[in-house]
Amino acid sequence: MRLSLLAGGLLALATALPAQTTPTPATSGPTLSLQDAIALARRNNPTYQQSVNQRRTAAASVRSAYGALVPSLSTSFGTSFREGRTSLVEGQQFGASSDQVTSSAGARVDVSYSAEALLTPKGQRANAEAVEADITGAAQTLQSNVTTQYITALQQRARAVLQDSLVATASAQLELAKAKVAVGAATILDVRRAEVALGTQQVQAIQARNQEQVEKLRLFQQLGVTQPADVQLTTEFPMTAPEFALNDLLDQARRQNPALVAQRTREHVADVAVKGAKGSYLPSLNLSASVSGAGSQFTNSDVLVSSALSQRIGQCQSTAQLKQLVGQAADPSACSAITLSPTEIAAARAKNPGLYDFTRNPYSVSASLSLPIFNGFQREQRIQQAVAQRYDAEYAVRRVELQVNADVTAAYLTLQASRQTVALQEKNAATAREALNLAQERYRVGANTFIEVSQARDDYARAQTDYLNAIYDFHRSFAALENAVGRPLR
């Protein structure tokens, strides 16, 4: 009677524990939902941030394309120093004997218009739209990867819980075998077999818990952040049957799939590039205007006084020589006694302006219209290259359309098959649990051997594992379908 009660209690424990396969999150430690995980990944995933960084380059290209239509303004300023020494050029002395500092400044405005330049902003805007579509596609891919890894981590946690329950079952079966040996209803061989089964199950439980931690690490690698200790995954995925038609999904994918949208935008970019290349046959207009000025200053203003005195003496000598030629009395040597008055000296020094007292040079304005005639077939080459790229873009759109159709159809069919597989595996798991209960009851009353109990437990473990795998395969198939369509479906 005591053996019957003990065996009945152990049998109830061994029967109840394997039935709990749904993981229950622990209450300690931080929690992480799927939506929080996706938000973290969008802020921290390096690969996704590299895609987002392309937006900066695209925006700069758009600004540069519009800036090419605005006149460019350039200014210049310079200063130089020349030693006070004369230079000998073909036997003649040139230059002043005083050091001289000069400066110059100028401004120039240029603008050029051509058909290609006028079309460039349109092409750059289209390219920016393509970059945004690429970013959207990267976000969709990131969300799909995070969701898939999140589901994998939940699956591994469920496997670990199942292995723990199987350890409890094997432990209960070991105690039952020991109780039967104690009353002579079994042999020590049953105990040894139960001990081996328990040890094997404990190893599998350790490996399952280790793999659970590894999958969490992989998840946080996708998020781009360090995994906190004892983090708990809280999102639960309902087993809901898909209620959408394949044709509706295909229509949505053709309109919303980010990869397809991006490829269509790049086709538009290629079309604009063809128009720009053909625009090289049209004339281009170039406009420019410039103004400049210069200033100079001698470091020693006495050189100007000497120059003014030399000029007065030269004028005097020229006058004397002219008088001698007409027969009038003149003494050229008297000119050497000429001196400058204080007023004349001051006037000579005043001719040494400030370094930045610029004297404006004549301004210039020009306009030209150029029409290319022949440049060695370079324009023709550019046009053909642009046309080839446009055809490549069209073929790429067609390729992506076919891929999207195939991906959506395959994901839809896989989801349907996964839903049917879950139903069958659930039935198999229930049947295997009944077989295990029956084998344990028969072993309790001595109607079969421990080998049959072990075989029934192994069959149940496989069936329950297959059931768990089918459930999470269904969720992964759902995520793959959402990724193929390009938007959430539940």
Q: Whole-structure pTM over 0.85, yes or no?
A: no
Are 268 and 360 in the same domain? no
CA angle 59-61-67, nearest 5°? 105
What's residue 327's pLDDT? 67
- Cα distance between residue 69 and residue 399, in whole Å: 37
Q: Specify the pLDDT at position 26.
A: 47
- 50 and 79: one domain? no
Listed in sequence order, the DSSP H helices in 291-358 are 302-325, 342-350
What pLDDT, on a 0 to 100 scale, did the predictor assign at position 1? 38
Residues 324 and 413 in one domain: no
The answer to the question of residue 123 being in a domain is: yes
Same domain, 361 and 225: no
Residues 175 and 276 in one domain: yes
Q: Are residues 25 and 147 in the same domain?
A: yes
Domain count, the chain: 3
Report d(CA 262, CA 338) in Å as an integer: 90
Both 60 and 87 in a single domain?
no
Residue 490 lies in a domain: no
CATH of the domain at 270: 1.20.1600.10
Do 249 and 185 belong to one domain? yes
Q: Could you write out the DSSP letters of every residue in 8-71?
A: HHHHHHHHHHHH--S----SSS-EE-HHHHHHHHHHH-HHHHHHHHHHHHHHHHHHHHHHTTSP
Q: How far apart are the first and last CA of the chain?
A: 56
| Type of residue numbered 298 | F
Ramachandran region of residue 296, left (φ > 0), alpha (ψ -120 to 50) or beta? beta
What are the distances in angstroms from CA 268 to CA 68, 94, 104, 320?
A: 22, 66, 49, 87
Consecutive 10-residue averages of pLDDT for the chain (490 residues): 40 42 56 94 94 93 90 90 69 64 89 87 89 91 94 94 92 89 85 91 95 95 92 89 88 91 90 88 90 80 74 77 70 71 77 74 90 86 92 94 95 93 94 91 83 88 93 93 88
Residue 435 domain-assigned? Answer: yes
Same domain, yes or no, for 476 and 452? Answer: yes
At 330 the pLDDT is 65
Report if residue 237 sits inside a domain.
Answer: yes
Bridge-based pairing state of the strands 232-233 and 31-32: parallel
Residue 291 lies in a domain: yes
Res 168: pLDDT: 92
Tell me, what CATH number does 76's domain have?
Answer: 2.20.200
According to DSSP, residue 455 is labeled H
- Could you tell me if 21 and 103 lie in one domain? no
Nearest alpha carbon to residue 371 among 472, 274, 281: 281
196 and 321 co-located in one domain: no
Of 370, 404, 421, the position where a domain reaches its end is 370
Instruction: Specify whether 50 is located in the same domain as 101.
Output: no
Structural domain that includes position 420? 2-69+116-282+376-485
- Strands (DSSP E) contained in 114-248 are 232-233
